[in-house]
Structure 1
Amino acid sequence: MNPIHAAVLGTVQGLTEVLPISSSGHLILIPKFLKWPESGLTFDVALHLGTFIALALYFWRDILELFGSFLASLKEGANTPAKRLPYYILAATIPAAIVGKTLEGPIEEMFRKSPATIAALLIGFGVLLAFADTTGAKRWRVDRMTLKYAIIIGLAQCLALLPGVSRSGITITAALLLGFNREASARFSFLISLPIVAGAAILKVGHLVKAGIPAGEAAPLAIGIATSAVFGYLSVAFLLKLVQRDSLYPFFWYRLLAGCGALTLIFLGY
């Protein structure tokens, strides 16, 4: 992993992990078409850690409020929407954590050999996002979240293991179909991603500590963390502002063009 590759892929991770366009799909397809070598454990750590830093920095107030609400619920009971929200986030996180722990490796390995399937998923789930944005009632805010809805969104998040689906894309889609407005859908999507991204970062860092940083990998590691964190933070801010005033159709069009472009390159033999 050279510094230029690290900067490009860190930027791609920061943008695509947050925006509903699939980070795993991009991180498989871009190196393939550019004939770059696959990134190893060291760079996986950089990408996950950078994304977690971005989310933690942007949502630090929400994190403190959630922690305070959780402590208050232990003393007073979960008798308000704010005090119930930490439990809903946990409920939405558990399915993806279990499925991810058992299937992430085999699924990613399988799809690395099938870029056409990744391209098709980019298009298909882009269409589903557009459908949800068009037909969803968009009448509820986060304070209308229930345990049932949280579990449904959490189950939908399991589909994000498929490269090309997008974690934020599928959870926003599910929330929109359940009747939540765009801002609530995006915010809840980011909040439930925090434990998943944090857990992935901790596991990857643990593996790296055991294996050690290979010679010459320290600089790409730092570049990957920095670019992923910076562009991840900017992407969160951009998306939450966008959903307050505009539709999610730009992401549908991007996914359609990216998927069709990838299929064209595959057809041409790249």
Structure 2
Amino acid sequence: MSLFHLILVAIIQGITEFLPISSSGHLILLPNLTGLQDQGQTIDVAVHVGTLGAVVLYFWPDVKRAISGLPHALIGRTDTEQARLALGLIIATIPTVIAGFILYMTGLSEAMRSITVIGWTMLGFGLLLYWMDQKAPQTKETADWGVRDAFKMGLWQVLALIPGTSRSGITITGARQLGYTREDGARIAMLMSIPTILASGTLLALDVIGNADARLARDGAIAAVFAFFSALLALSLMMRLLRSVSFTPYVIYRVILGAILLFMAYS
């Protein structure tokens, strides 16, 4: 891969992983719309590592709290906020891991990688985000997140396995439906991404072990670095904007892109 292609893939992944506009959808569209070759699974692993590093660094105080509460959560003790956060992240991840494994083993994940599917999910789930964001109350904060809400948001997250849905977008939609504020809903959604990205990245890594060479390793390192910095920038920008701006700008982008893709698919 050329340096330009690597940087392009890394920046697209980094920016779109945490904004509610779907990273997988954009990466699938890249070769379809530009004629560039598919980046391959090694680069996919690399950019996942980069974005994982960005979200861990940005939310490090929350991550540290979850890590400190993990030992208690694993033995069923949820008498501290740290343990409840750790247990919630575990519970929220389980449905996606199970559903993702089934889709991977059956090949359905590849069958859904089409412009038509991405067009409909961009449009439909974008409008759903707008509806929930405008109509749902803003009464809950991160400290209110418990097992029941974690499981419900985990079910919402399963929908992100459909390309174009957006993992962050659909979990934020779920958080808003449950009544969390925009900023706290986004914070929970970002924290949920850590075990999810770790699980999907590990699955991809198992596929590429033994196939990567020195050149691929170099390309992966470059992609990871650019994905890290672009994801960190996107995260910082979104979390700051949420203090004064709704999710409407992202919805407008999704609706426009979805309409263009559906026009292309059916014309």
**TM-score, normalized by length of structure 1?**
0.91
- Give the CA deviation at 1:53: 1.4
Q: 1:82 to 1:45 in 2, by over 3 A?
A: closer
Matches for 1:120-269 after TM superposition, within 5 Å? 120-213=120-213, 216-267=215-266
The whole-number CA distance in structure 1 between the counterparts of 2:15 and 2:241 is 14
| 2:103 aligned residue | 103
Deviates more, 1:5-14 or 1:70-79: 70-79
- Give the CA deviation at 1:36: 1.2
The whole-number CA distance in structure 2 between the counterparts of 1:73 and 1:157 is 21
The whole-number CA distance in structure 2 between the counterparts of 1:39 and 1:109 is 15
| 3-state SS in 2 of match to 1:244 | coil
Instruction: Indicate conservation of the 8 Å contact 2:69/2:80, yes or no.
Output: no
CA displacement, residues 165-206 of structure 1 (integer Å, 9 cap, x when unaligned): 000000000110011111111111111110111122233334
Q: How many residues align?
A: 266
Matches for 1:26-105 after TM superposition, within 5 Å? 26-71=26-71, 77-104=77-104
Instruction: Indicate conservation of the 8 Å contact 2:74/2:87, yes or no.
Output: no
Q: 1:224 to 1:80 in 2, by over 3 A?
A: same
Q: 1:68 to 1:255 in 2, by over 3 A?
A: same
The whole-number CA distance in structure 2 between the counterparts of 1:165 and 1:225 is 23
Instruction: Indicate conservation of the 8 Å contact 1:91/1:151, yes or no.
Output: yes
Structure 2: which amino acid aligns with 1:37? Q
The whole-number CA distance in structure 2 between the counterparts of 1:67 and 1:245 is 31
Structure 1: which amino acid aligns with 2:49? L
Instruction: Indicate conservation of the 8 Å contact 2:25/2:164, yes or no.
Output: yes
Q: 1:36 to 1:66 in 2, by over 3 A?
A: same
Structure 1 unaligned residues grouped into runs of 5+? none
CA displacement, residues 1-50 of structure 1 (integer Å, 9 cap, x when unaligned): 22211111110000111100011111111210101111212211112111
| 3-state SS in 1 of match to 2:36 | coil
Q: Percent identity?
A: 35
- Give the CA deviation at 1:68: 1.7
Structure 1: which amino acid aligns with 2:96? A
The whole-number CA distance in structure 1 between the counterparts of 2:75 and 2:258 is 50
Structure 1: which amino acid aligns with 2:65? E
- Give the CA deviation at 1:267: 4.9
| 3-state SS in 1 of match to 2:165 | coil
Deviates more, 1:223-232 or 1:204-213: 204-213
Cα-Cα RMSD: 2.0
| 3-state SS in 1 of match to 2:242 | helix
- Give the CA deviation at 1:78: 1.8
Structure 1: which amino acid aligns with 2:225? A
Structure 2: which amino acid aligns with 1:15? I
Deviates more, 1:68-77 or 1:86-95: 68-77
